[in-house]
Structure 1
Amino acid sequence: MITLVIPCYNEAGNIEALVQEAFDLLPETLLGELIVVDDCSTDDSIRRLAALRSRHPRLRLLRHARNAGQSASVRSGVAAARYPLIATLDGDGQNPPGDIPALVAAYDPQGPQLVGGVRAKRRDTWSKRTASKLANGLRRRILRDDCPDTGCGLKVFERDRHLALPFFHGQHRYLPALFRAYGATTAYVPVGDRARRHGASNYTNWKRGLQGIPDLMGVRWLVMRARPVLAEDAP
């Protein structure tokens, strides 16, 4: 069974339908719990979510006291999870929850320990698709993480491995590289992509670019310095 973690910031128009869709499509034998982490939204996202709890006892709501970013939201959800296998998807509704079983099926405790989604047909604007393609290519050359689409929010990974990684703002964009640097293997599965139905993205190409260069250099340093070690009980 899995814990599904959904980070949410000002997604009142999308989050309610997304949570309902996840419960409708994912069987109880797979979905142990669903955690939405509200990153101190200023809209009525949390009110809409609270109304769903009477219908879905497996729904858990966490709320940050201040806005901390998507990486912090993912980490809060993972830290609170009751199951050892985590699935994540973005709160804007562009990731189809129905693709999660395919990622879980590709996961193996012996490897791959992280399975990421690859958006086969992006529904974003031309400028976002172009910027993403350029950024993915630059990241692959520098980090050699072999990840074709690090921006896809749909991922399945081991809880304990995630919590053992060095944490920083923007970490969620570099999980494949970090998992590999610390001894895990990765795989990728084609997934769907949908147009945003309501609201506006919390990211712009300019904002991503300003954050991306120093983050990329920092992750390159972490990857180069990583020394995965397996400790065993002494005889």
Structure 2
Amino acid sequence: MSSNPRLSVVVPVFNEQGNVAPLVHEITAALRGRTAAEGGDFEIVYVDDHSRDDTLAVLRQLKSEVPELRVVHHVTQSGQSTAVRNGVKAARGEWIATLDGDGQNDPADIPKLIAERAKSSPDVKLFAGWRVNRQDSGSKRWASKWANAIRSRMLRDATPDTGCGIKLFEREAFLDLPHFNHMHRYLPALMQRAGWKTVSVPVNHRARGTGVSKYNNLNRALVGIADLRGVAWLIRRGKVTRLEEV
């Protein structure tokens, strides 16, 4: 594995022991053997958010089998946004691809996002997955539909699906964004606030393989109200100043 990979795949996990190995092998299958121009030189950074099952043990075993795999472990549970940010901070690639650890995102879509980046202008810093065929329960799809509609109306981020875990973004641009709990749900709006463009890309979506979801409609709604107000305030107070050296 290169010490200077072009792409880092960051995967936050909490109690996903049954989904770790299949997803790691799918990531390597999707990315090994690709040319450098396509982001073939890669690493995988798993961030274990202090799991209470055997997730960490499975990851330790996989490290001996998968040379691209690196593992970061939270000493205390800190949440998905912090796990994503710590994974990005630990990553060595210039560009970051993220996946949810439950296996519902398809790693085969990562090359699709990379191809979209190759034909886009340099000021596009985020390529967000758009789940056009959701494989969730009816209540979850309904809640997501209304949440996306409310968010779009308040933030005007022109993004049909911000909850999709598969994304591709520039590491430096991401680390320059304001960090707060649940910020991973508002990346398009935050990137646009920073003066960058974003693109939504249709991607595959799958049913969860094993385990249970860590969220429900009620807790997402309660935190979402406060988050939306906060992000709207950030956008109103934001100012972008471009620099040039003389």
**TM-score, with length taken from structure 2:** 0.93
Q: 1:103 aligns with which of 82, 97, 113?
A: 113
Residues in 2 aligned to 1:157 and 1:109: alpha-carbon distance in whole angstroms: 13
CA distance in 2, matches of 1:199, 1:56: 23
How far off is 1:27 after superposition?
2.4
Is 1:224 paired with 2:224? Answer: no
Instruction: Go from structure 1 to structure 2 and tell me whether the alpha carbon gap of 1:52 and 1:86 turns closer, same or farther (over 3 Å shift).
Output: same
Counterpart of 2:94 in structure 1 is 84
Select 2:133's aligned residue among 121, 124, 133: 121
Q: Post-superposition, which runs of at least 4 consecutive aligned residues in structure 1 deviate over 3 A? A: none
* Structure 1 residue 105, shift from structure 2 partner: 1.3
CA apart distance, 1:231: 2.2
Equivalent position amino acid for 2:63 in 1: R
Aligned with residue 74 of structure 2, among 64, 78, 81:
64
What pairs up with 1:137-156 in 2 under 5 angstroms? 137-156=149-168
* Unmatched 5+ stretches in structure 2: 1-5
Q: Is the 8 A contact 2:31 2:42 kept in 1?
A: no
1:83 Cα deviation from its structure 2 partner: 1.0
Q: Any conservation in 1 of the 2:133–2:204 contact (CA below 8 Å)?
A: yes
Q: Could you tell which deviates more after superposition, 212-221 or 105-114? A: 105-114
Contact 2:23 2:103 in 1 (8 A): yes
Per the TM alignment, residue 232 of structure 1 is displaced from its structure 2 partner at its CA by: 2.5
Pairing 1:165–2:170 present? no
> How far apart are residue 18 of structure 1 and its match?
0.5
The aligned counterpart of 1:6 is 11
Equivalent-residue separation in structure 1 for 2:188 and 2:114 (angstroms): 16
Residues 70, 60 of structure 1: CA spacing in aligned structure 2 closer, same or farther, 3 A cutoff? same
Q: How far, CA to CA, are the matches of 2:81 and 2:152 in structure 1?
A: 20
Cα shift readout 1:48-71 (whole Å, capped 9, x = no counterpart): 111111121110000011111100
Of residues 25, 32, 35, the one that matches 1:27 is 32
Give secondary structure in 1 for the equivalent of 2:124: coil
| Structure 1 gaps, min length 5 | none
8 Å CA contact 1:106, 1:112 repeated in 2: no
Q: How many residues align?
A: 234
Contact kept in structure 1, 2:81 and 2:182, CA below 8 Å: yes
- After superposition, the CA RMSD in angstroms is 1.0
- Give the letter aligned to residue 77 of structure 1: G
* Equivalent position of 1:207 in the other structure: 219
Matched ranges for 1:41-56 at <5 A: 41-56=51-66
Report the Cα distance in structure 2 between the residues aligned to 1:119 and 1:210, rounded to whole angstroms.
Answer: 23
- Checking the alignment, whether the CA contact within 8 Å between 2:127 and 2:169 is kept in structure 1 is yes
One-letter amino acid of the structure 2 residue matched with residue 61 of structure 1:
V
Q: Does 1:36 align with 2:46?
A: yes
